[in-house]
């Protein structure tokens, strides 16, 4: 049984484990004040080309989202996101728990366009309604689609002129940055947003997301807020060492590229076999539409998520590839499907 | 420079790292539904001798405290803890952030006695005050002192007869369980409390605390609350594998015993040299009172925390030993002090 | 300029003011422990025909909703309401501020049907999503429509069999209870719900809503939660005296009937003049669709809310009548419209 | 039975009720946008002599405190108050419910001095602890003592130079302002604080506190926060009319003076009879120490609070006078005591 269920089925890239082993008996300061974290942050700043950003390493995506968003907003301020947004549907109301409404806008492909945000602003006219203040997007989106540099720029300008914070959940950011057509770099991410995070967990780390805060107004006292949410590890080195490895010699991008390539291979095989897709995703998530009978038979050899019922006879499934996906498994899947 | 600053200066016990490496390419379910977590929980239940408990693996102590306490209380209910309690002073108001008041009682040695709790109950008489509902202790306490089986039993009975939840922060529980005089086992911990956690981070793990919930009323939907607080790791295996190793063949207790022994060695050396202590701690934290001049000179070779100013010329320092503490370092410290 | 803007434009019914004046120099206990509050609660219990309910008098609707809902739910539990629900759109995220997600379902007429709730339950399948636990409706709805006894019964049974709390915002409950066709009594409200409130502010009181809690599990310690939210007035007599008057000799129903009659008069006049309505409301809110030009001209003599743009030339407006609405004003409005 | 239990036993000053009656059938805008509220705010600004302040009328003290403090602080920031502070002990954890720790400092007379605040600042050194940001005092204090102009100035300067917000709970502010020795005016209150409120409920109003925000940084979007906390009355006129009356022709000060005079009369009578006091209070609260036997006998004719047990035979009681206190009742009490 081979799993295409997600990009966190395996442990970490061996190079990361190796670095953990080698540094193991060094004595380091706690709570992210260690030399590895310092070094990882240095590398990230260098790669982005901006020394004035703040970088914080946090265990996971939900924790990063809730810590950052609740740090950025006043109590009556709200987030706007797509109806498929992770904070809207898959974080057990973490944002609401911190007191903030999550306003959703319809979206076919998981992306948000300024027109939709404008409608939200128009509706929220006075103090009887929350004040929309932060636009949350993920890149890639939950549906695997990507904001290109141009699209991000447009959304960024809209946010700026409407005094909205633009925050990007980059749980799978590596995959987006390695899509040529998106033409997007880490520097662009920084230039066009107020804050975003670079996901490690889904790209080869055991745990870890690197939150980048560019907007000066959002930086103050962030470590207090991290500690308060339980998001400051005593052994912060665990995060530091991993990001050190990921951003030394571009391992992060290599891993993302592999995930994308495996997804492409999958898609090409499925297209060849004339399968349709729920959405046109270039990243490491693929959503083919298969007959339910075929799905059942595939489940004998592969595990994956059934995403959405399409009609009585067919459903879209989700296939996720990662840094760890084996080419043979992909080929076997395609072969199986073609039978 | 050798550090006695805390018990989380190094990485993990090599056996744990080894297990991470060996299991690395296995494909596992996410969010704690993996086989290693299942196995770790099985071992913990067996060791405690109670199959009806719920066990949840969580990254760190603050996160465990805030997730558990906010899961257990209704909005108007409050915690009671010692004035030195970790939740009262060192978690950046994490409990208050979840909406609950932390009521402190005076304590010389970091421990709570029923009389003090009774005073709090007497004072909180009506709906204009919060309703005290949960007693938080840590074992060992922040001052390294230990609740013995008998003391825990007395507090437990008091809580039961006053309808109070007894919750124990066991960040350094291993150390307490290896103090012969305390006569305390994991089973006792379970029998005498409603919930408690077994600390991994400070006893050889990279991260990880195992929360045990015995009280039937406190169990429901706990995983929802974990996810909501960002306390459910995608790669839950990271926690599962570590606790599997710690509780296979008693590694957990071996490591704690080593930490205790190193502390004992330190204390004996210091006593021999006629130093006094701020508090009489049998566990892996030691609080000798030294002249400030001596402290300054020691700081050239060792790092440690200055805990409290005693008078113009002397201060108490905190020396923490751990599974990783080298005997030679301890001996060197004693020698240095004796000079 | 006469206002049809809302049902809280005037002060209180003179009988209420009179009672305030007459009782003014009596010395009473504070915080709702006064004889008037006791008496008001006694009357409400008698009218409902249930001595086992708890009744709490609270200043306003938003305060009642947030205090009650946050008292009833655990942190991961969520409300379900119509997309027009007051808690979803007009309380500045008050429910989210208490930590709970508000899930909305589509509704044309402001009402919720079991099928829609079932869809929400189906979608919320595991701990990565919030747990829907409370169904919030208002009766009448924000659009002036009414749940009949039969409709309420059906929703009630659905909620019971799905372990959902049914809570009714009765800001304008008087109006609903005086619609013959709805065939609904205060006793029915109590029988078919877990908790609901009887609105005073919009039916002749200066301030005040009477929250009725029937479900035994939701009663405990409610006064603590009231005090914590600032929802326990020092001079609770202010609420007690008002509800005493409202429920002595059925003043409450007389006032609601007057409001309904004035609305009916308005609607009949508008129908005669061939105007259409946004929604078919039998209660004290009326939503006629008028040409924008006519609206502008009416605004010289009357104030009201423009509810919704219908097309380039016309909009729906909202006309609200109340216990204080003068018949002459209604007739004048109709005449003006007919010109 | 005559009550000295508190200053909210009676209704409102007749002039206020009269104004409610006279304005009753006027149609006004809701939510504090009415002409009376506008006028009341105008009067308050004039009296303070500062047009740039923001004034908000809110129902009660707890509600004002929780709305203001949670509006002013970021999530990791905390309040400092005396151990007797109302927010610390008598608001059911309302501030903690909004997420903020309340740090208490010891105080004999209910007042805070800069030295105590400095100690708190010294202790809260890093991100593992909350960040003290707001100093909460009440004037008069819970013990009836008063901050003089000079004392307030000193505390104000300390706060300013330490970047702390100074916020004053003025539930009984009228009484403090009418103590000649304190030499304090409403203008001083504004000059020396960032925000404070002028209590109406305990000085002749049915409900109502007037929150004054001077600090520019604390003003933004306050009405959103009010609405979110359920602290924006639909019939805001109820508050507006009352404050209009209180500040037209100085009724507010007349009422407070009467309360003070009645307290003085009480105290002089008690002193004459050689009774001692728990604390030396010049305002409308008096804390004589009486033998328990005497207390029991007094309870047949008067109601009051037993404040604190002094020894086995005696206790301090609290006698509160108000705008409504009858001179005869005071004289009768003294006579009774002298027997």
Dist CA C267 CA A21 (whole Å): 79
Of B8, B62, B85, B92, which to mutate for an interface test with D (greatest number of D Cβ within 10 Å)?
B92
Buried b (16+ CB within 10 A) or exposed e, D115-139: ebbeebbeebeebbbbbbbbbbbbb
Q: Does C99 touch chain A (CB under 8 A)?
A: yes
Tell me: pLDDT of A339 over 90: no
Are B28 and B35 in contact, with CB atoms under 8 Å apart? yes
Structure confidence at residue D339 (pLDDT): 84
Instruction: Determine the distance in angstroms separating the CA of B67 from the nearest CA of chain D, rounded to an integer.
Output: 15
Q: Across chain C, which distance is largest between two alpha carbons, in Å? A: 61
Structure confidence at residue A73 (pLDDT): 98
Q: Which of residues 317-336 of B touch A (CB under 8 A)?
A: 324
CB contact under 8 A, B224 and C71: no
- ipTM over 0.95? The verdict is yes
**pLDDT tens per residue, range B179-221:** 999 999 999 999 999 999 999 999 999 999 999 999 999 999 9
Q: How confident is the model at residue B339 (pLDDT cuts 50, 70, 90)?
A: confident
**pLDDT tens per residue, range C292-332:** 999 999 999 999 999 999 999 999 999 999 999 999 999 99
What percentage of chain C carries pLDDT values higher than 90?
Answer: 99
Q: Does C233 touch chain D (CB under 8 A)?
A: yes
CB contact under 8 A, A128 and D227: yes
Q: Which strand (E) or helix (H) includes residue C163?
A: none
Query: For residue A16, which phi and psi values (nearest 5 degrees)?
Result: -70, -45
Tens-level pLDDT at each residue, chain D (339 residues):
999 999 999 999 999 999 999 999 999 999 999 999 999 999 999 999 999 999 999 999 999 999 999 999 999 999 999 999 999 999 999 999 999 999 999 999 999 999 999 999 999 999 999 999 999 999 999 999 999 999 999 999 999 999 999 999 999 999 999 999 999 999 999 999 999 999 999 999 999 999 999 999 999 999 999 999 999 999 999 999 999 999 999 999 999 999 999 999 999 999 999 999 999 999 999 999 999 999 999 999 999 999 999 999 999 999 999 999 999 999 999 999 998
pTM of the model: 0.97
Query: What does each C-alpha distance from B134 to B113, B161, D50, D87 come to in angstroms?
Result: 14, 13, 48, 21
Dist CA A139 CA A179 (whole Å): 11
> If you average pLDDT over every residue of chain C, what do you get?
97
Instruction: Determine the distance in angstroms separating the CA of D228 from the nearest CA of chain C, rounded to an integer.
Output: 5
Tell me: pLDDT of C339 over 90: no
CB contact under 8 A, B127 and C99: no
Collect all residues of chain A within an 8 Å Cβ-Cβ radius of residue D31: 128
Structure confidence at residue C277 (pLDDT): 97
C42-64: average pLDDT: 98
The position carrying tokens 């809209």 is A158
**pLDDT tens per residue, range B124-157:** 999 999 999 999 999 999 999 999 999 999 999 9
Determine the distance from the C-alpha atom of residue D61 to the mean position of all C-alpha atoms in its chain, rounded to a whole number. 8
**pLDDT tens per residue, range C92-106:** 999 999 999 999 999
**CA atoms within a 13 Å half-sphere pointing along the CA-CB vector of C333:** 29
The full set of domains in chain D, from first to last, is: 2-7+252-338 (3.90.1150.10), 14-249 (3.40.640.10)
Of D60, D66, D73, D97, which to mutate for an interface test with B (greatest number of B Cβ within 10 Å)?
D97
What percentage of chain C carries pLDDT values higher than 70?
Answer: 100
Q: Which of C67, C6, C13 is nearest to C230 (CA)?
A: C67
Helix axes B327-338 and B251-272, enclosed angle (nearest 10): 10
C148-168: average pLDDT: 98
Q: How confident is the model at residue A246 (pLDDT cuts 50, 70, 90)?
A: very high
Query: What does each C-alpha distance from A98 to A74, A87, A93 come to in angstroms?
Result: 11, 12, 9
Give the chain B residue whose CA is nearest to the CA of D87: B129
CB contact under 8 A, A129 and C92: yes
Query: What does each C-alpha distance from D5 to C139, D33, D84, D333 come to in angstroms?
Result: 41, 36, 18, 13
Collect all residues of chain B within an 8 Å Cβ-Cβ radius of residue D81: none
C151-155: long-range pairs with CB below 8 Å, 24+: C151/C111, C152/C184, C152/C188, C152/C189, C152/C192, C152/C193, C153/C192, C154/C114, C155/C112, C155/C113, C155/C114, C155/C192
Q: How confident is the model at residue B17 (pLDDT cuts 50, 70, 90)?
A: very high
Q: Does C228 touch chain D (CB under 8 A)?
A: yes
CB contact under 8 A, B75 and C70: yes
> If you average pLDDT over every residue of chain A, what do you get?
97
Joined together, the tokens standing for residue D12 give 């409102």
CA angle, corner C249, sides to C244 and C252, nearest 5? 65
Are A95 and A102 in contact, with CB atoms under 8 Å apart? yes
Helix residue spans in B11-74 (DSSP H): 14-22, 35-48, 61-72
CB contact under 8 A, C26 and D11: yes
Q: Does C33 touch chain B (CB under 8 A)?
A: no
Dist CA C175 CA C192 (whole Å): 18
Q: How confident is the model at residue A208 (pLDDT cuts 50, 70, 90)?
A: very high
Give the chain D residue whose CA is nearest to the CA of B127: D92
Dist CA D13 CA D9 (whole Å): 12
CB contact under 8 A, D89 and B127: no
Q: Which of B199, B297, B241, B269 is nearest to B37 (CA)?
A: B241
Dist CA A220 CA A51 (whole Å): 16
User: A302-303 and A2-3 as β-strands: parallel, antiparallel, unpaired?
Assistant: parallel
Size of interface B-D (CB pairs under 8 A): 54
Collect all residues of chain D within an 8 Å Cβ-Cβ radius of residue C23: 11
Joined together, the tokens standing for residue D317 give 């009681």
**pLDDT tens per residue, range C228-241:** 999 999 999 999 99
**pLDDT tens per residue, range A292-313:** 999 999 999 999 999 999 999 9
CB contact under 8 A, C96 and A100: yes
Give me the count of residues in chain D. Answer: 339
């Amino acid at each position: 049984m081979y799993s295409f269920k997600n990009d966190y089925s395996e442990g970490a890239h061996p190079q990361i484990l190796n670095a953990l082993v080698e540094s193991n008996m060094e004595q380091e300061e706690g709570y992210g004040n260690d030399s590895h974290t310092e070094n990882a942050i240095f590398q990230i700043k260098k790669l982005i080309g901006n020394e004035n950003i703040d970088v914080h390493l946090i265990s996971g995506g939900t924790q990063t989202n809730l810590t950052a968003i609740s740090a950025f907003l006043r109590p009556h301020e709200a987030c706007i996101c797509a109806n498929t947004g992770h904070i809207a549907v898959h974080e057990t109301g973490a944002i609401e728990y911190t007191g903030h409404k999550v306003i959703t806008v319809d979206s076919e492909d998981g992306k948000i366009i300024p027109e939709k945000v404008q409608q939200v602003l128009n509706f929220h006219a006075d103090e009887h309604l929350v004040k929309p203040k932060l636009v949350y997007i993920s890149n890639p989106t939950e549906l695997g689609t990507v904001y290109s540099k141009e699209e991000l720029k447009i959304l960024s300008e809209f946010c700026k002129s409407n005094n909205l914070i633009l925050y990007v959940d980059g749980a799978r950011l590596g995959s987006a940055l390695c899509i040529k057509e998106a033409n997007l770099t880490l520097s662009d991410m920084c230039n066009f947003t107020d804050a975003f995070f670079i996901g490690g967990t889904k790209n080869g780390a055991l745990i870890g997301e690197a939150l980048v805060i560019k907007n000066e107004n959002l930086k103050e006292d962030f470590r207090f807020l991290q500690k308060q949410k339980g998001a400051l590890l005593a052994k912060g080195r665990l995060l530091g060492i991993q990001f050190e490895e990921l951003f030394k010699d571009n391992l992060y991008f290599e891993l993302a590229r592999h995930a994308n390539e495996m997804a492409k291979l999958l898609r090409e095989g499925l297209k060849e076999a004339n399968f349709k897709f729920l959405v046109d995703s270039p990243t490491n998530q693929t959503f083919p539409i298969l007959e339910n009978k075929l799905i059942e038979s595939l489940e004998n050899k592969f595990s994956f998520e059934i995403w959405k019922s399409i009609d009585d006879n067919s459903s879209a499934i989700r296939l996720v590839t990662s840094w760890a996906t084996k080419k043979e498994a992909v080929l076997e899947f395609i072969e199986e499907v073609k039978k």
